Amino acid sequence: MKTKLHFTCSDDVVREMEAFIGKRGRSRFISEAIREKIAKEKFSFAVSECAGAWSLKKHPELSSIKKLSDYIDNIRKDSEKRLKEIYK
C-alpha cells in the first residue's frame, strides 16, 4: 500500500537530490531516506534505553581485556559443550 504525501522542502535540498537522481525517482529516494532515518532513530533510542546496563560494578568480568577474553572463551566453551550434548 502506498500513501501520497505532500510536504515542502528547501530549494537547495531539492537541487542536490535531483543532481544525484534526476527528477524521476524522487519518491523512491525520499522513501529510502526516511527508512534510513527511522532505522537510525530506532537504534539511537535503543542505545539510550540500554545505557548503563553493562556497568563494571555489575560485570567485573568485563573490567579488562584479559578478563573479557576469558569471559568470551568460557561462553564459547559452554556453547560447544551444550551443542555436543544436544547433537550426540
For residue 73, the enclosing domain spans 54-88
Are 45 and 65 members of one domain? no
What mean pLDDT comes out for the span 4-10?
A: 93
pLDDT computed for residue 85 by the predictor: 84
pLDDT at 86: 85
Q: Is residue 59 part of a domain?
A: yes
Q: How many domains does the chain have?
A: 2
Residues 46 and 60 grouped into a single domain = no
Residue that has been written with the C-alpha cell 531539492 in this structure: 14
8 Å CB contact between 56 and 62: yes
pLDDT at 41 over 90: yes
In a domain, 79, yes or no: yes
Single pTM value for the model? 0.57
pLDDT band at 33 (very low <50, low <70, confident <90, very high): very high
Are 46 and 65 members of one domain?
A: no
Mean local confidence (pLDDT), 6-11: 94
